[in-house]
């Protein structure tokens, strides 16, 4: 069992069907950072509603009024930096679509260059650090080579 499977036992590392699902997974991992994943999972219906079912086109158009509305919404995790990052990231998903045709093609562009992909994710998307990028990539089925921290963790959790 990998660290990711242990952290999120209900998740299966499967490629999303479309860019909306990629955006949803990225947002889920972004909001889960620093929290127990169950906190965000238990608010899934609220997140779906609050972020227009994760339509990148709709979320990219959110305004300051929307940020204020979301900060008052008890059905989601009310973290202003993460809310603003999600709006920015929606616009970036749309840019990726323009540049590569789809998010899946963006991932394929990097091939097995996992370091380059991770660096690009961290530069392009807000509030996506090393751990969030790796959890996101794992969740969408991208083949990851365990880093030193993950190898150490796996050695201590062998079944």
Indicate whether 2 pLDDT > 70: no
Indicate whether 1 pLDDT > 70: no
Q: What is the pLDDT of residue 13?
A: 73
Q: How many other CB atoms are found less than 10 A from the CB of residue 140? A: 19
Which one has a higher pLDDT value, 35 or 2?
Answer: 35
Average pLDDT over residues 28-37: 92
d(CA 117, CA 93): 15
pLDDT-above-70 percentage for the chain: 86
Domain range for residue 43? 3-155
Q: How many domains does the chain have?
A: 1
pLDDT-above-90 percentage for the chain: 73
**Can you give the CATH number for the domain in which 105 is found?**
1.10.340.30
Q: How far is CA 3 from CA 8, 27, 134, in A?
A: 9, 20, 11
In the predicted model, what is the mean pLDDT of the chain? 90
Which one has a higher pLDDT value, 36 or 42?
Answer: 42
| 68-127 residue pLDDT tens | 999 999 999 999 999 999 999 999 999 999 999 999 999 999 998 999 999 999 999 999
d(CA 157, CA 143): 20
pLDDT band at 159 (very low <50, low <70, confident <90, very high): very low
Q: What is the pLDDT of residue 45?
A: 98
d(CA 69, CA 155): 45
Among the listed residues 130, 136, 132, 126, the one whose alpha carbon sits nearest the alpha carbon of residue 59: 126
């Amino acid at each position: 069992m990998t660290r990711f499977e242990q952290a999120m036992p209900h998740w299966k590392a499967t490629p999303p069907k479309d860019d909306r699902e990629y955006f949803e997974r990225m947002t889920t991992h972004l909001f889960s950072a620093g929290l127990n994943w169950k906190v965000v999972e238990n608010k899934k219906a609220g997140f779906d509603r609050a972020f227009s079912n994760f339509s990148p086109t709709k979320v990219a158009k959110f305004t300051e009024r929307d940020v204020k509305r979301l900060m008052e919404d008890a059905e989601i995790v009310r973290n202003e930096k993460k809310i603003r990052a999600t709006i920015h990231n929606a616009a970036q998903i749309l840019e990726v679509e323009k540049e590569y045709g789809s998010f899946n093609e963006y991932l394929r562009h990097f091939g097995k260059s996992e370091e380059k992909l991770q660096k690009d994710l961290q530069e392009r998307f807000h509030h996506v650090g090393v751990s969030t990028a790796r959890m996101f990539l794992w969740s969408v089925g991208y083949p990851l080579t365990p880093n030193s921290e993950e190898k150490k963790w796996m050695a201590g959790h062998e079944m």
